[in-house]
Amino acid sequence: MSNVMKVKERKDRYKVTYMAGDDSGFDMMEGALLVLESLDLPIDWVRADLGWCMWEKSNKKFGEGDPRCNTVPPETIQSIKDTDATLMAAITSKSGVKGFKSAILQMRQIFDLYINIRPAKKLPGVGTPLANDPNIDIVMFRENTEDLYAAVEFHPLPEEMFDLHKGMDRFRGRDVAVSWRVFSKDGCERIVRAAFEYAKETGRKTVHCGNKANVIRETDGMMKRVFLEVAKEYEQYGIKAVEENADATAMWLIKNPQDYSVIVASNVFGDILSDEASQLTGGLGFAPSGNIGENAAIFEPSSGSVPKYAHQYRVNPSAMVMTAKMMLEYLGLDEAAAKIEKALGEVLVESKSGTLTYDVLRDFRGDPNWEKNAASTIEMASAIAAKIDPAFSGAKLEAAKAKVHKMCAWDADSLIGFMD
Ligand code: IPM
Ligand code: MG
């Protein structure tokens, strides 16, 4: 099996798409790009845009209700195809907007990004809400394309569907909504294999599979069977497979997080369990993630776009910075990736004034004046960059700041997409 967790072709220089998303997404992308500037990477950046901002742009251009209106413009899809990897910041979703479809959900389907890898690792200087400071280093493999996310839904339910299964008898004559939970065997197999391969590659010794095969017999039953089958191939590497109920996983993650290393789960359970795991390791402000398939990889933090702070540079750049680190590993730039994590850890541990964003001061330093003492996204990013390269200061730093600020311009004229 080719290693899907790595770029297909190693190159001397890479082309990487960056997409700042919406609102505070621009701020976090600017911060992350500043940190990357300090590394002098062999990367040529290509801008693309997506999210609510493109939904608005397309509505303005084509008129409301036009089928061409979308959160993802064709130029963005093309750019993801044309480049070696994609770095994406947070986007804004709004419910109840007719025709609106989440940009990230679309891209997971378009590019068949079946792996959602979500590490939850405690960084130095970041607390956990758990007692006794357990060592937490978990990597979640969430299936990313099937399950209730297949988007096969009915409301109202067509009459003939009441005849499909006798279990529907009691719903006859009632107002019923149905969402299909679709699992495919190859879909289960490829995510399970990705998790075991990762464990093998990284020397991790257990893989847990959280499922509800005890109740949801067909879908989760399939996931469980495939998991146990594939697990046999990995026994020879000393990898232990543990299959358990997903609700138990949720409970044991709080009680004994140190017992977990790699977790594989279906889409919905993985969505929930990954947020839980991230909360054990500092919360979404620190949680990176990657959406990976055979032909594309989009790295995006798990956090939201915090619209209330848009363009105020208040959000923590850490999740975005750690997401960039994951992307560098994907590209085989491991040394640079390691420098990023080390530098971030040092900034967090040193906890110098003017280097930490409000959330860190409020949630992990107990600073009653967190609002007043907060560093900006760019100040925290500059501190991380200076740890990577102590010469990254003065005129050099200012030039880099100006460059990334321009790269992340958010005015309507700077947005790329729906050009013709
Ligand atoms: C995530 C998010 C998305 C999901 C939303 C924003 C569509 O919660 O990436 O975990 O449900 O997958
Ligand atoms: Mg989620």
220 lines ligand 1 (CB under 6 A): no
pLDDT of residue 284: 87
Question: Above 70 in pLDDT, residue 364?
Answer: yes
pLDDT band at 2 (very low <50, low <70, confident <90, very high): low
**Ligand 1 atom closest to Cα of 267?**
12
State the residue for tokens 């303005």. Answer: 60
Which three-class secondary structure string do you get for the chain? CCCCCCCCCCCCCEEEEEECCCCHHHHHHHHHHHHHHCCCCCEEEEEECCCHHHHHHHHHHHCCCCCCCCCCCHHHHHHHHHCCEEEECCCCCCCCCCCCCCHHHHHHHHCCCCEEEEEEECCCCCCCCCCCCCCCEEEEEEECCCEHHHCCEECCCCHHHHHCCHHHHHHCCCCCCEECCECCHHHHHHHHHHHHHHHHHHCCCEEEEEECCCCCCCHHHHHHHHHHHHHHHHHHHCCEEEEEEHHHHHHHHHHCHHHCCEEEECHHHHHHHHHHHHHCCCCHHHCCCEEECCCCEEECCCCCCCHHHCCCCCCCCHHHHHHHHHHHHHCCCHHHHHHHHHHHHHHHHHCCCCCCCHHHHHHHCCCCCHHHHCCCHHHHHHHHHHHHCCCCCHHHHHHHHHHHHHHCCCCHHHCCCCCC
Instruction: Give 392 Cα–ligand 1 centroid separation in angstroms.
Output: 36
The model's pLDDT over 371-381, given as tens digits with 9 standing for 90+, comes to 999 999 999 99
**Entry pTM:** 0.97
pLDDT at position 57 over 60: yes
Q: Is the CB of 303 under 6 A from ligand 1?
A: no
Q: Which ligand is nearest to the CA of 106?
A: 1
| Model confidence pLDDT, tens digit, residues 327-353 | 999 999 999 999 999 999 999 999 999
Name the closest ligand to CA 144: 1
Is the Cβ–Cβ distance between 260 and 253 less than 8 Å? yes
Regarding the beta carbon of 377 and ligand 1, being less than 6 Å apart is answered no
Res 3: pLDDT = 87
pLDDT, residue 173, reads: 95
Query: What is the model's pLDDT at position 190?
Result: 98
Kindly identify the ligand whose nearest atom is closest to the C-alpha of 291: 1
Question: What is the overall mean pLDDT for the chain?
Answer: 96
Q: Is 271 in the pocket of ligand 1 (CB under 6 A)?
A: yes
Report cis status (omega within 30 of 0) of the bond before 156: yes
- pLDDT tops 90 at residue 132: no
Is residue 1's pLDDT more than 70?
no
* Number of CB atoms found within 10 A of residue 192's CB: 25
Q: Is 112 left (phi over 0), alpha (psi -120 to 50) or beta?
A: left
Calculate how far, in angstroms, residue 239's C-alpha sits from the geometric centre of ligand 1: 30
287: left (phi over 0), alpha (psi -120 to 50) or beta: beta
Q: How far is the CA of 391 from the centre of ligand 2 (A)?
A: 38
93 in ligand 1 pocket by Cβ < 6 Å?
Answer: yes
> Residue 4 and residue 292: Cα distance in Å, rounded?
7
Name which of 317, 326, 322, 319 is nearest 286 in CA terms. 319
- Report how far apart the first and last C-alpha atoms of the chain are (Å, whole number): 41
- Tens digits of per-residue pLDDT, 195-205? 999 999 999 99
Taking 60 as the threshold, does the pLDDT of residue 39 lie above it? yes
Pairwise CA distance, residues 93 & 139, whole Å: 26
228-258: buried (b, 16+ CB within 10 Å) or exposed (e) per residue? eebbeebeeeebebbbbbbeebeebbeeebe
Report whether residue 105 contacts ligand 1, using a CB cutoff of 6 Å.
Answer: yes
Ligand nearest to the CA of 105: 1
CB count within 10 Å of CB 262 equals 23
* Cβ density class 352-377: b for 16+ within 10 Å, e for less: eeebbbbbbbbbbeebeebeeebbbb
* Protein residue with least CA distance to atom 9, ligand 1: 302
Taking CA atoms only, the protein residue closest to ligand 1 atom 11 is 271
Q: Ligand nearest 272 Cα, by number?
A: 2
Q: Which of 102, 147, 279 for a ligand 1 pocket mutation test, highest count of atoms within 8 Å of Cβ?
A: 102
In this structure, the strands spanning 262-265 and 297-299 are unpaired
Q: Which residue bears the tokens 């007692």? A: 131
How large a percentage of the chain has pLDDT more than 90?
95
- 268 touches ligand 1 (CB under 6 Å): no
* Ligand positioned closest to the Cα atom of 71: 1
Closest Cα to atom 12 of ligand 1? 271
Pocket of ligand 1 contains residue 147 by CB under 6 Å: no
Model pLDDT for residues 218-263, shown as the tens digit of each residue: 999 999 999 999 999 999 999 999 999 999 999 999 999 999 999 9
Is the CB–ligand 1 distance for residue 41 below 6 Å? no
pLDDT at position 204, please?
A: 98
Tens of pLDDT, residue by residue over 103-128, are 999 999 999 999 999 999 999 999 88
Answer yes or no: is the C-beta of 116 below 6 A from any ligand 1 atom: no
Distance from the Cα of residue 213 to its chain's centroid: 27
What is the CA(398)–ligand 2 centre distance, in A?
36
Closest atom, ligand 1, to C-alpha of 105: 7
For residue 43, report the distance from its CA to the centre of ligand 1, in Å.
28
109 CB near ligand 1 (under 6 Å): no
CA of 158 to the centre of ligand 1 (A): 29
Cα(260) to centroid of ligand 2, in Å? Answer: 20
